[in-house]
Structure 1
Amino acid sequence: MSSADGSPGSGLLYRLYQRRIRRGLDPATLPGHVAMIIDGNRRWAKQLGYQTASHGHRAGAAKMREFLEWCDDLGIRVVTLYLLSSDNLTNRPDSELSDLIEIIAELAEELSHYRDWRVQHVGSDAGLPEPLVAALDAAEARTHDHRGLHVNLAVGYGGRKEITDAMRSIVASHHAEGRSLEDLAERLTPDLIGEHLYTGGQPDPDLVVRTSGEQRLSDFMLWQSAHSEFYFVEALGPNLREVDFLRALRDYAKRNRRFGG
């Protein structure tokens, strides 16, 4: 649906349709934790004729601020945003990576001053430039006692690396306690591994959303998403509309979650 000027998501019919979907959502059926893979920022910039991908990344960051507001207003408690993978640190051009790192640092700073949101970095500091690590640490420290929406910023994140780091942490802790290898084998459980993940202590995502029509996980929350529901949106990241998200929630509410059964 488009308005008279052709822009999607701004006409009267669109707004009425959006309100109808929102009214039809039962708060009891909404996910408690939503994970978002924002994809398509570079394609968005290219389609609009921009010379660099940074325009797309900046537009994507602005859209993620909107997305968090949608979630917060609906009462969703935890949101994880996949902003920069560990693979991105080695497979993106230096110029694009430099711009993206600056944008993420600005986003972390902004979110840490918004509403009563708690910002947490989930990922590894390895390979991240010091200014970005400092920005993420500062946002985390500034919002540590906040009780509003819990915002996980997955930066320098890789699912396989997370599991590897968790296992290393378990082994190191076990060794420090002077326990035997046999004892470690007996103690090693999914719950113990979960406690040592970057998201330790948090609920697993109920719903994982990805923009741009791509249907893959890209090494995102491999452990935590074992029983998640997935929803793929055709819109490129910066073009994501609230109605797209409401449709995802409506679809989620209709599913029969069997948790592996």
Structure 2
Amino acid sequence: MAQDETKLRHVGIIMDGNGRWAKARNLPRPAGHRRGANAVGEALNAARRHGVKYVTLYAFSSENWRRPEGEISTVFGLLDHYIDHKAKELIDQGARIRFLGERHRVSAGLLKKMDQVSALSRHNDDFHLCVAVDYGGRREVVSAVRKISALVAAGDLQISDIDEDLISANRYQPDVPDPELIIRTSGEQRLSNFLLWQAAYSEFVFVPTLWPDFSQDDFDQAVAQFVGRDRRFGGVSNLATSG
């Protein structure tokens, strides 16, 4: 692996375009989600090949509850199926499977399965698959603020103690590093409430490919774009100061 790729530890993926893929083929929207499930394996295999340790998949947003009931059922059914048929293989390969997001609207049966695979894989550290389910970036920040506010109200924390590190420590998964790269498929160019706090210095690559057609080659091209970026973090370009 090239030296300049070693800094790529965490990739977030907004899996977009399932509905448009289905519409282009005169198929119902759920068919796009079913086909899109196959692209998950492509993305994970490519990520591991590049030495990426963390991948966060935006599986279902807090706003996606506005979609048709049949489509919602399909998405959660696919997640249930993935846990039943793919989780063990990933765990045996050293992957830790984790979920982030709200829990109160997810069915008890699916929550049980999510908790089981999380517990079974909790000691794995070769690769981390983080699945965002009923997730919203703004909600995550609100959740962190509420936790901190409770500490202040209890007298266990001073307002002057609140800083960026404390907010980060109260995220859903405080031990997961911020993503260096966020990929969004389908050509749309927005975050859609995904990892808002964590994405402060992420690089973005917007891929025209619809998610069901996403391949390892698409991932490779996104990484190539990332490697070619000059990440300044508010400072002066290394290119401008070199030589």
State the TM-score, normalized to the length of structure 1.
0.84
Are 1:197 and 2:175 counterparts?
no
Distance 2:20 2:162 in 1: 43
Q: 136, 153, 170: which is aligned to 2:148?
A: 170
**Equivalenced residues, count:** 231
1:109/1:194 CA distance change after superposition, 3 Å = farther
2:48 is aligned with 1:75: no
**Is contact 1:112–1:143 with CA below 8 Å preserved after alignment?**
no
Once residues 81 and 103 of structure 2 are traced to their aligned partners in structure 1, the CA distance between those partners, rounded to angstroms, is 17
Distance in structure 1 (CA, Å) of the matches to 2:148 and 2:86: 32
Match of 1:56 in 2: 32
| Aligned mate of 1:66, from 20, 26, 42 | 42
Q: Secondary structure at 1:80's aligned position in 2?
A: strand
Report the CA distance between 1:124 and its aligned residue.
1.0
The structure-2 alpha-carbon separation of the partners of 1:149 and 1:110, relative to structure 1 and needing over 3 Å to count, comes to farther
- C-alpha RMSD of matched pairs (Å): 1.5
The offset of 1:131, in angstroms, is 2.1
Deviation at residue 116 of structure 1 after TM alignment: 1.4
CA distance in 2 between partners of 1:103 and 1:27 (Å)? 37
Counterparts in 2 of 1:93 and 1:166: CA distance versus 1, 3 Å: same
Instruction: Identify the match of residue 153 of structure 1 among 131, 150, 158.
Output: 131
3-state secondary structure, aligned to 1:147: coil
Q: Secondary structure at the match of 1:200?
A: coil
**Aligned residue in 2 for 1:35:** 12
Match of 1:92 among 57, 61, 67: 67
Equivalent pair of 1:36/1:82 in contact (CA under 8 Å): yes
Q: Letter of the aligned partner of 1:38 in structure 2?
A: M
Counterpart of 1:247 (choices 215, 221, 224) is 221
1:111 is displaced (CA, Å) by 4.1
Aligned amino acid, residue 68 of structure 2: P
1:104 pairs, out of 60, 79, 85, with 79
Partner-residue secondary structure (3-state), 1:156: strand
Amino acid corresponding to residue 122 of structure 1 in structure 2: L
- Aligned counterpart, 2:240: none
Task: Please give the TM-score of this superposition, normalised by the length of structure 2.
Answer: 0.90
2:106 is the alignment partner of 1:128: yes
Q: CA deviation at 1:27?
A: 4.4
Superposed CA deviations along residues 213-260 of structure 1, whole A, max 9, x for unmatched, are 000000000000000000000000011121111111111111110113
How far is the alpha carbon of 1:62 from its aligned partner? 1.4
Q: Which amino acid aligns with 2:178?
A: D
Q: For 1:131 and 1:233, locate their aligned partners in 2 and report how far apart those are by CA, in whole Å.
A: 35
Indicate the SS of the match to 2:55. Answer: strand
Ranges of 4+ aligned residues in structure 1 off by more than 3 Å: 108-111, 173-176
Cα distance in 2 for partners of 1:26, 1:68 equals: 19
Counterpart of 2:210 in structure 1: which amino acid?
Answer: L
2:186 partner SS: coil
Counterpart residue type for residue 93 of structure 1: P
Does the aligned pair in 1 maintain the 2:46–2:220 contact within 8 Å? no
* Residues in 2 aligned to 1:27 and 1:68: alpha-carbon distance in whole angstroms: 21
Q: Which runs of 5+ in 1 are unaligned?
A: 1-24
Q: What is the alpha-carbon distance in structure 1 between the residues aligned to residue 14 and residue 193 of structure 2?
A: 11
Counterpart CA distance in 2 for 1:174 and 1:204 is 26
Aligned pairs (5 A) from 1:216-255:
216-255=190-229
